[in-house]
Amino acid sequence: MVREPLIDGHDRRISDLRVSVTDRCNFRCQYCMPAEGLAWLDRGEILSFEEIERVVRLLAEMGIEDLRLTGGEPLVRRELPRLVAALTKVPELHEVSLTTNGYLLERDAAALAGAGLSRLNVSIDSLQRDRFYAMTRRDALPQVLRGLDAVAAYPHLRPVKVNAVALRDFSELEALPFAQFARETGFQVRFIEFMPLDADSAWTPDQVLTGEELRQIIHAVHPLEELPREPSATARVFRFADGEGEIGFVNPVSEPFCSDCNRLRLTAEGKLRTCLFSMHETDLRGPLRAGASDDELEQIVRDAVWRKELKHRVGEPGFRQPARTMSAIGG
């Protein structure tokens, strides 16, 4: 069934959905969680695979084309490849991707590839074992890199993007090693500016190492050429001038890309968010479990999307950090 496309109050067509399948995570990254972790949702609060599939199918009928599964860490959700296999059969979806910290990727790469996954984003903040541990509070870099090796065996899982959160006084030393990594592996490395979504609410603007600063560090050694930006893309992508790979910069703080934002997020417990920094959410789990029809759910979604924020307002006077962290929202 084809329904009218999702259009927000600023005339932006919504076609990208991020679905968090769990709030649980096996890392404790400093920019996201406190060392002791967070209180997890009870299992009964989290949407079932069947509920996720129903919401995704409905939104796909309304014009969602790209779906990304997130967490927490999505691979800690038991039998996740079974959900991937169901979602890749939704005919309207052009792509089903996954963002993971890679810790369980060696175990699950074959099952995800077999389920029809389109591509992966793997979060790695340092290529040095001690610095990786300092950032994630887990001595897991060798296992994550083995996961990337496992993914490389499946050529249809492309592109593989390696995401590194950029923090001042830390990531400057990571720029050139990651550039070399991108040149040698064919993976697209992307640096993501540190956003105010940390559990400690300790974010300050001076902690943000901008994408432009990182680009200059890399360009001085490996000249870069910018590629045209695709509509609604989050990253500025550059290729190395000698043709050996690509690198990207996601700059939501220094260069917001809100004007053509096409994204929605669904939290693990079924709350629809129209912006990472939304102060309000729309409950879908309640109506789902109360027996709402697809038409009734459609109207709830449309009303929420119509109110989608014009921009995130990070750095503007009066900005308030949302109560939820990135791990609870889902990237």
- Does 232 map to a domain? yes
Is residue 5 one of the residues assigned to a domain? no
Model pTM score: 0.94
Contacts for 46-52 with beta carbons within 8 Å, 24 or more apart? 46/21, 46/22, 46/268, 46/269, 47/21, 47/266, 47/268, 47/269, 47/270, 47/285, 47/288, 49/79, 49/82, 49/83, 49/86, 51/270, 51/285, 51/288, 51/289, 52/19, 52/21, 52/83, 52/87, 52/266
pLDDT at 331: 67
Residue 296: predicted pLDDT: 98
- For the chain, the distance separating the N- and C-terminal CA atoms, rounded to the nearest angstrom, is 29
| Cβ 109 vs Cβ 147: under 8 Å | yes
Residue 32 lies in a domain: yes
Bridge partners (DSSP) of residue 237 are: 248
Q: pLDDT tens-digit profile of 259-270?
A: 999 999 999 999
User: Is residue 85 situated within a structural domain?
Assistant: yes
Q: Does the residue 189 lie in any domain? A: yes
Say how many residues make up the chain. 331
Rounded Cα distance between 237 and 286, Å, is 40
Does 317 fall in a domain? yes
Give the distance from CA 18 to its chain's centroid.
7
Residue 1 counted as domain residue: no
The ranges of the chain with pLDDT < 50 are none
Residue 22 lies in a domain: yes
As a whole number of angstroms, the distance between CA 74 and CA 98 comes to 8
Angle CA(144)–CA(146)–CA(49) in degrees, nearest 5? Answer: 60
Domain containing 157: what range? 16-329
The pLDDT assigned to 201 comes to: 73
Going through the chain in order, the beta strands assigned E by DSSP cover 16-20, 66-70, 95-100, 119-123, 160-166, 188-193, 224-226, 235-240, 246-250, 263-266, 271-273, 282-283
Residue 114: which CATH number?
Answer: 3.20.20.70
Strand 263-266 relative to strand 246-250, pairing: unpaired
* Domains held by the chain: number: 1
